[in-house]
Structure 1
Amino acid sequence: MSNTYYKSKTVLITGGAQGIGLGMAEAFTREGAAVIITDVDQEAGKEAVKRLQQGKGNIEFILCDVSAEHEVVALMEKVGEKYGLLDVLVNNAGIADPFMGNLQEMLMSEFDKIMAVNLRGPVMCAKYSLPLLKKSGYPVILNISSTRAFMSEPNTFAYSASKGGLEALTHSLAISLAVDRIRVNAIAPGWIETGDWQKKSQKYKPQHSKEDKEQHPVGRVGTPEDIAEAALYLCSAKAGFITGQSITIDGGMTVKMIYK
């Protein structure tokens, strides 16, 4: 990326206090953007701000549960009051644990909670950020999906369904918001190691076996930086002819045929 493109941009990243979200926040602040991160974990949010301010980043944390409509409305009001507009919305917040037990034992309340955060949340964030995005000269929405939208392990019903819905939402929004010049794309990460990108009380040193690495054609597990670099590109003018697309970033795992 250039050293100037994001210097005048305002970027909102939901679920930005840890993991992939924090990796993207670091990348956008490094490029000079004013970045707002949201999260339900206040401790993680405060740590993230401290971490990124050490790198001279223009970073702000706002506590927000994206599954609560009134909190999303309040979030966008705060962003509007301070910045006046929004250039980039990154819908990253999500309940990451995909496993729910077998279908017969699954609690519908758990299913509904995951769908509310992972799918309804992005819909509401897009809806209530729209007036701010329309004020931007180059508005972009980026959804963080998952390769589990396309392939599954057993008993991952809600997570897979929510990410599959997010994929469909991406191309639907791209067509619906084209009249407002808003580009909408998605990134579908595969195995991304976030141990170094957690709050202090949950941080751990990643350890991957030879088998873990070799099941990826590129020979390693992914990192938040891998997703962040793609996000910088997709949200920039360099990707101006890309909309309604989903980019899989998984080290080649989903195209590798495996016979047992």
Structure 2
Amino acid sequence: MNKVSIITGGARGIGAAIAHKLGTKGYSIVIADIDENAGQYRLNYLKNSGIDAIFIKTDVSSEHDVSNLMDKVYEKYGRIDVLVNNAGIGFSGRSIEEQTLEEWRRIIDTNLTGTWLCSKYAVKYMKNTGGVIINIASTRAFQSEPNTEPYSASKGGIIALTHALAVSLSKYNIRVISISPGWIDTSKWQVPPRTSNLSNLDHKQHLTKRVGLPEDIASLVSFLVSDEASWISGVNFTIDGGMTVKMIYIDENVIQNSLALLFDDYELSALIRRLIDKAKNNKEEIKKLLKEIVG
């Protein structure tokens, strides 16, 4: 009997890559997703890859749906070994003054409450055999851009929930771990797949010189659920190409280096840098010149 893994939000993006990776490792895969069309697409993809898989339409913010999900999985397979709490939604980008309570609740209910609900109902069956719960958080739990409050709060809550669950569930031999991805290009794992449109600057600003891929997260998940990681629980893994360790101070050199990456042309970036230096002493002349160039 194969071990069984449930991946919420498993129809596309990071969740889809995790489902495929664990499927190639011999797991029976349960895709739990609110999008029925995407779920069926991913189910066919996995089956065509020779992976045993089922799809169960699930809204992780619904206690009824989550309870039904776990019951159905246990009825079919008689066990639950791995739960990957990946389902989540993003943020509107509206300012705090414009954010609504409805938006806050929708994001918290899906990202954080959904993680709690799925863990709660999976434990009912997972405690019979032990297992692993992987919670997908985000580097937004530690660093933010403007207007991300509901999303950042939900991801920070997931990390706190992770260590609380790890302590509570250790008596059942259940390990609980969170992963905080950075910038991930999910184009290949969308429904249907898309072509990536990232720039040279997007990639080379990372210490690893590229934006992350869902496969990067899937490989880490594959290790963490394995017996080789049996001494790991209650911790968060940041996987972001090194972005969160960079200190960035904006000055002319940073601007020039960024332009060199953006255009892949050091000479052009050096000329623009000289233009910036000249503009410090004569803004009006440089503005006039630029207006003539750009029209």
Report the TM-score when normalising by structure 1.
Answer: 0.94
Distance 2:68 2:2 in 1: 24
Calculate percent identity across the aligned residue pairs: 48
Bigger Rg, which one: 2
Asked whether the equivalents of residues 98 and 160 of structure 1 are also in contact (C-alpha less than 8 Å), the reply is no
What secondary structure does 2:211 align onto?
coil
Q: Contact 1:91–1:142 (CA<8 Å) still a contact in 2?
A: yes
Q: Which has the higher contact order (CA 8 A, sep 6+)?
A: 1
Aligned to 2:247: 257
In 1, are the aligned partners of 2:135 and 2:177 still within 8 Å (CA)?
yes
Q: In the alignment, residue 242 of structure 1 is paired with which amino acid?
A: I
From 80, 83, 86, give the equivalent of 2:77.
Answer: 83
* Pairwise CA distance, 1:98: 2.8
Shift of 1:215: 1.2
Give the secondary-structure state (helix, strand or coil) at the position aligned to 2:11.
coil
Which residue matches 1:171?
163
Contact 1:146 1:163 in 2 (8 A): yes
Q: State how many pairs are aligned.
A: 250
One-letter identity of the residue aligned with 2:168: S
Matched residue, 2:117: 124
Structure 2 alignment gaps of length 5 or more = 251-295
Cα offsets for 1:39-71 (capped at 9, x unmatched): 110010000011111110111110000001111
The answer to whether 1:56 aligns with 2:50 is yes
Q: Does 1:213 align with 2:203?
A: yes
TM-score between both structures, scaled by the size of structure 2: 0.83
Contact 1:191 1:222 in 2 (8 A): yes
Which of 84, 93, 96 aligns to 1:100? It is 93
Structure 1 residue corresponding to 2:194, chosen from 182, 196, 204: 204
- Residue 105 of structure 2 corresponds to 112
1:233 aligns with 2:223: yes
Task: Name 1:4's counterpart in structure 2.
Answer: none
Moved over 6 A (4+): none
Partner of 1:3: none
Aligned-partner Cα distance in 1 for 2:91–2:211: 19
Please say if residues 100 and 157 of structure 1, whose CA atoms lie closer than 8 Å, have aligned partners that are also in contact.
Answer: no
Q: 1:180: Cα distance to partner?
A: 1.0
Q: 8 Å contact 2:91–2:107 — kept in the other structure?
A: no
For the residue of structure 2 that corresponds to 1:8, the secondary structure is coil
Indicate if the aligned counterparts of 2:34 and 2:57 stay in contact, CA closer than 8 A.
Answer: yes
Letter in 2 for 1:64: T
Output the aligned Cα RMSD: 1.0
Residues 96-130 of structure 1: per-residue CA shift (max 9 Å, x gap): x2343111111110110000000000101111111
Q: State the match for 2:3 in structure 1.
A: 9
From 130, 137, 147, the equivalent of 1:145 is 137
Whether the aligned pair in 1 keeps the contact of 2:31 and 2:54 (CA below 8 Å) is yes
Q: 1:8 deviation in Å? A: 2.5
Residue identity matched to 1:227: I
Question: What are the Cα deviations for residues 167-199 of structure 1, in whole angstroms up to 9, with x where unaligned?
Answer: 000000001111111100011000010011111
1:184 aligns with 2:149: no
The CA deviation string for residues 114-151 of structure 1, in whole angstroms up to 9 with x for no partner, is 00000000101111111211122x41100000000000
- Give the counterpart letter for 1:152 in structure 2: S
- The answer to which structure has the higher helix fraction is 2
- Give the letter aligned to residue 10 of structure 2: G
Question: Which residue, out of 25, 30, 35, partners 1:36?
Answer: 30
